[in-house]
Structure 1
């Protein structure tokens, strides 16, 4: 019997969408209103590549700085109307008071802050784009703004634009951190460019390890998803093993158990699932049923039966017919017929087909409960849906035979023999039953003849006394031996006929 059971729900969990890029963008996005008055002619702030150009940045004049500071205070106090009015006034200046590129960049940066605070992300994006379009702004300001632009595109789920903006940022910065690689990886994940997504998430994880830090759980989950999507079983397992090292959660034990199965590592598959089970992590119906199937596949039916018994009795496993059937089969394979019977009774009662009653009858026969076997099999045949009616009728005939109801046994065997798959067994049983009937009849005839002979010679019986009594005892002993021999022969024939299994 194939005891394996597809566990597509585990595959679904492995394909679960990893942490969303939009969520990461929200948590990482930091809008700055910092103002930087520049009196120096050069702004060479850190973070740019060595080959970056030297920029001559215009100064931020004090009068403009004071107005910007006033607008900033209003914005941070959520007085957005006042803040915007100040900025509008600054933008409107012309002539000698017209704003230079650096001053304009600071104005648009503050506009963006106000718009972002009001959840006007499209407006904030436009303002940030105006910041980086200004010539000769400090390189650090451009770098930071480009990163913010990329994040805002991700917030709006404009994945490709976010990727493009982030790639520009990478081209400008010397020291991108692991979070930036993760953000880029999630962008590529969203556009289904899994190869590039993997390159970046693996880079982030490697950077974190190199810094003696534990990579974030979400990073591993993104890598797990990407490898699984590429059908890279070995690397999926490797990522899950890392996850379990740092984050030993139930879902990872369940997932790695499934993946070990994909690698045909059956002992590790069982061990991983069992680790979760003994820690009472498997609280879902399908998880516990999977545990039982794994025990059955490992030829440990007793443990499978215990899992099912516990779950069915505490209602953590659905008490449907199929689950009671699994419990009954496990108990039967464990040679615990007294426990298999009530489980299979539940299964049969909850089923709308007769198949399980036929199997129940088989178990009753194994347990020498012949009358119950007859009742169960007849109920199954009457209900319909028995997969092998011929086999069920063979078992029915055996039960009748063991109750010495030879006429009904013959009817059952004849009916079974109409199916060519059981014809040979049925004929063997009929032949054996006929010989048994003849043997029993011969014993009866012999007994009657002996009684008649003794009745005709009472004097001889009286003369022999104890000798005659001894002869009677010997004769009775021979008859008992013959009956015992017949029982043994019937049992042997029953085995030869191939009593059907319950599974």
Structure 2
């Protein structure tokens, strides 16, 4: 719904034109120096009195009464008819709503036909007509009227160019959005984000990612306080595979407190991991899993555990692979936990995790039994080590290595006087 499109000052101008003495009207016309050399027209006295009554009703917020007065006006002169139709259109537009906007369009089309109105009246009416047509999704007609308005006035307007770009978007004419968006950017006295959004939309939907990056770099310079532009730029850097800039941008955004969503934090963590700083990735995931922003799912826990492992934080990685395994009940996660527990010399815990992996049907059991045998061996549990190494020999892939270990376990057990 449009807000009141007719200010009191505009309506005063309507009525003044209708009621001022002729000499005063002519003087005002000379002062305005209209762009077109058109003789200033005025409504007849009878019509002017009725328009005055309509304006008084409008001033008292009795728009329906104003419309009733205007709709009953009969005219014999084409200017009077165009003038009243314009006033009616403005009243319908002021009421708002789709049905009233359609009525406003109908009356504006009649009012502007034939260029009968005075210059300012005509130009304002054409522009309002285009605005209402945009609202009613009459995009092709709106484009024609914005063009007509600019040609009529010789003026350009930033907001009009934004609407032109929007109309092209709605018409799926993505390539035609760029020129009006650029003109809007140039015409706005203060930077405005809307034309940048339209440019970005055009480039993105056409998969022109390098051009999208340039738009985002420009708009971020103008609106550094808008956190959306930081995250968007970081994302688009990844689309053009400029991961260094993506990391720099999102890292800076994070330090300013601009990253608030799960997806944003995970994107930054992923960039840390892929840019050889896994410890930052791990600790970032840990922080936001702990505070609940990132859900404690097996997938997220695995990502964090993997980053701790890449950062050589073996004990911490083992702990989180254990948490991952509890959530997923996956044999491969228990195996990862077991391997890291053994690597960190937590042999008893390692054998338990590895046994869980076997119980859950891990593939390549021979290798797992080999690791179990080693863990038992270092605990001097030679009987269990020997049993595990015999199991490892059942797998053709590990049989040869397991046989070499078998004798070593037996010899060591003999020296320690342990029966196996």
Residue 43 of structure 1 and its aligned partner are, at CA, apart by 6.3
TM-score computed with the length of structure 2 as normaliser: 0.86
Specify the alignment match of 2:182 in structure 1: 202
Specify the alignment match of 1:260 in structure 2: 237
For the 8 Å contact 1:90–1:99, the answer to whether it is kept is no
Residue 430 of structure 1 and its aligned partner are, at CA, apart by 2.4
Do structure 1's residue 413 and structure 2's residue 358 form an aligned pair?
A: no
Residue 364 of structure 1 and its aligned partner are, at CA, apart by 0.8
Specify the alignment match of 1:229 in structure 2: 205
Residue number among 33, 38, 43 corresponding to 1:55 in the alignment: 38
Tell me the C-alpha RMSD between the 2 structures.
2.7
**Could you give the per-residue CA deviations for residues 464-500 of structure 1, whole angstroms, max 9, x where no partner exists?**
xxxxxxxxxxxxxxxxxxxxxxxxxxxxxxxxxxxxx
Please list every run of 5 or more consecutive structure 1 residues that lacks an aligned counterpart in the other structure: 1-22, 92-97, 446-503
Residue number among 210, 218, 221 corresponding to 1:242 in the alignment: 218
Specify the alignment match of 2:323 in structure 1: 346
Residue 307 of structure 1 and its aligned partner are, at CA, apart by 0.4
Specify the alignment match of 1:166 in structure 2: 146
Do structure 1's residue 215 and structure 2's residue 191 form an aligned pair?
A: yes
Residue number among 261, 283, 296 corresponding to 2:260 in the alignment: 283
Specify the alignment match of 1:9 in structure 2: none
Number of residue-to-residue matches in the alignment: 399
Question: 1:410, 1:231 → 2: CA distance?
Answer: 57
Question: 2:352, 2:305 → 1: CA distance?
Answer: 19
Do structure 1's residue 377 and structure 2's residue 360 form an aligned pair?
A: no
Residue 130 of structure 1 and its aligned partner are, at CA, apart by 1.4
Question: 1:185, 1:330 → 2: CA distance?
Answer: 45
Residue 171 of structure 1 and its aligned partner are, at CA, apart by 2.5
- Secondary structure of the corresponding residue to residue 184 of structure 1: helix
Specify the alignment match of 1:494 in structure 2: none
Please list every run of 5 or more consecutive structure 2 residues that lacks an aligned counterpart in the other structure: none
Alignment of 1:434-449 (within 5 A): 434-435=407-408, 437-438=410-411, 441=414
TM-score computed with the length of structure 1 as normaliser: 0.73
For the 8 Å contact 2:185–2:195, the answer to whether it is kept is yes
Specify the alignment match of 2:374 in structure 1: 398
Question: 2:325, 2:234 → 1: CA distance?
Answer: 32
Residue number among 48, 61, 81 corresponding to 1:65 in the alignment: 48
Specify the alignment match of 1:457 in structure 2: none
Larger Rg, first or second structure (1 or 2): 1
Residue 30 of structure 1 and its aligned partner are, at CA, apart by 5.1
Residue number among 399, 403, 408 corresponding to 1:430 in the alignment: 403
Specify the alignment match of 1:488 in structure 2: none
For the 8 Å contact 1:101–1:134, the answer to whether it is kept is no
- Secondary structure of the corresponding residue to residue 215 of structure 1: coil
Residue 147 of structure 1 and its aligned partner are, at CA, apart by 0.7
Specify the alignment match of 1:148 in structure 2: 128
